[in-house]
Amino acid sequence: MPVISEPSAIASALRDAPPRPPCGAVLMADPAGFRVESVINPWMADATGMLNVIDSMRAREQWNALRQAYLSIDIDVQVIDSAPGMPDFCFCANQAVTFLDAGNRPAAILSRMRSPSRQPEVPLFERWYRHKGYQVHQLPHGVAPFEGTGDAIWHHGKRAIWGGAGPRTADTAWEHVAAITGAPVFPLRLVDPRYYHLDTCLCVLTQDTALCVPAAFDEASRQRLHKGFANLVAVDDEDAANFACNAHCPDDENVLIQKGSSDLVEALVRAGFGVIELDTSEFMKSGGSVFCLKQELV
């Protein structure tokens, strides 16, 4: 499958893409080792440059509440144990992207993390996926970085991927991701360092609806998004800073989202979504929220 950059080709590519089943389970990573030990994104330090300090007990409570929220909407939750010395391990969207291969077998493409501090996470996730029977794939040598579902967001109901290119994933990764998954990839150029992963500025809700932060993308990418979604909801700077686009809608019906974006939540409710507002403020100190804290399983 190709990387499709021409906006006019996106609608037909989505129409022709094979169906993709809805999410029925997620992986979460135990947050026991969660800390902020260095600045690898703009959210990890305060205005004076001091590292954010994590309240570990409160982070655990927030993580447990997110896990319970998934269970409450009949999404199974599997858990990978924490690892010592890996403070960002809990953000388990980043170490791989999962998919069903041509033989309908569960598979994963392993990430090539940009930050040296996060690179040791990947072999532990590889071990977990292999133990669960996943076919594990690597990108060719020298293709880096690539940060999994942080930048690879599946279009709902279709085997097609929106692929972020910029701070954490190289353009060259997407042709290989398309070839391995058999899914077309629609590239999106990230141009604002605050939105270092695609999942900080794009949230796919249904086949037709998505939230996005327009200023996070270049003009060509905005055109692609408008061709991909009949209802593209612009998220303002205030809600974007509240990680509203790092929400997750696993089933086209329920949106798990950081609390505090009241107008956006009201709009989602009017549109017929069930909304579960959560407090992920401790994890936001490290640049992540709901979407970052899980990996969809297949």
Spatial separation of the C-alpha atoms in residues 114 and 58, rounded to whole Å: 28
Determine which one of 156, 197, 248, 249 is catalytic: 197
212 is catalytic: no
23 is catalytic: no
Any residues with CB less than 8 A from the CB of 201 and at least 6 apart, and which?
190, 192, 195, 212, 213, 216, 217, 235, 240, 245
Residue 23: closest CA among 283, 258, 253: 253
State how far the alpha carbon of 167 is from the alpha carbons of 170, 290, 294, in Å.
Answer: 8, 21, 21
Determine which one of 23, 203, 212, 292 is catalytic: 292
Q: In 248-260, which positions are buried (b, 16+ CB within 10 angstroms) versus exposed (e)?
A: bbbbbebbbbbeb
Any residues with CB less than 8 A from the CB of 119 and at least 6 apart, and which?
112, 113
Q: Which residues are catalytic?
A: 197, 292
